[in-house]
Amino acid sequence: MPQVTKNNEDFDVVKYFLQLLEDNRDLSSGIAAIKTLLMILEKKQFGTIHILHTTMREAVAAMRNTDLSIAAIVSAGELFCRFITLSLDDKHMEECRQIMLHRGKIFLTKLLNSRQVISQQAQRFISDGCRILTHSRSRVVLQALIAASQNKKSFHVFVTQGGVGNSGEEMVQELQAAGIDSTLILDSATGYVMESVDFVMVGAEAVVESGGIINRIGSYTMGLCAREMKKPFYVLAESFKFSRLYPLNQRDLPNEYKYSRKHLNDVSKLHPLVDYTPPAYITLLFTDLGILTPSAVSDELIKLYM
């Protein structure tokens, strides 16, 4: 298991990363990855920028080998490293490290507020008496719906089970605990329920260059149904999930994104965990960078990686 040395002690990257997620269930894997990289930056001394980059890449590789969705880990790690290492020419390494540490903390603080920003943007789209369909459990969608309820709006949410696991049931329990009317439905009931809802609101594990999304399996089916029945399909996603992937179809998604790392040697009989929803099926994306059309995502990615 990859380790780095901090203050003459071994720092277990994966252990620290997984402990962050265990301690805070609402923490996304992307934010946990950034916190882990920031801890490495804070505790370890680096002789050169090259060594720093190598250490960060090894840490991201270690975290992506855990049995978690890697989309947000990869994109968050790339963006974090890009942001902290901009314009560091003609400076001593320790000065560079302090600048990077300062930038990293600013970057993390901004991202920790991203759900709140997205939640506020979504409020005017959630009207009193509306009926909403969502897929499984999404932290950012949950926060937006709770905020709308706290603003004295009354609405009903249909939540799909979300395939393997009980994430849909957890979402319904959390909504009901917040006083929000909600109903758990089978994934296969998406088409049946679609005609009675006003719009679809889902999260995303990654937003790709085309403006499409990678999300829990069944999202693509929901997008197809929404488009056929002319229902808006809204995506809520933080900017650290913006990825430089450009899939054209389901086969273009790397296997490590679609399947558990435990079984990558033979995926012929495995059920994919995520699918790709093309931009044609998405109405708007609510992000901490603003409300975007799918076609605007590539421009925002260019700005993020400039």
Tell me the mean pLDDT per 10 residues along the chain, length 306: 51 93 92 95 83 89 88 92 78 82 92 95 96 97 97 97 89 97 97 97 96 96 98 97 93 89 77 94 97 94 78
Q: Are 59 and 37 in contact (CB under 8 A)?
A: yes
Q: What is the pLDDT of residue 287?
A: 96
Q: What CATH class has 118-305? A: alpha beta
pTM for this structure? 0.91
- Per-domain residue ranges for the chain? 13-113, 118-305
Name the E strands within the chain.
3-6, 9-12, 131-135, 156-160, 181-185, 199-202, 206-207, 213-216, 233-236, 274-277, 284-287, 290-292
Q: What is the pLDDT of residue 164?
A: 78
Q: Are 86 and 47 in contact (CB under 8 A)?
A: no
CATH 1.10.10.10 fits 13-113, yes or no: no
DSSP code of residue 270:
P
Q: What is the pLDDT of residue 90?
A: 66
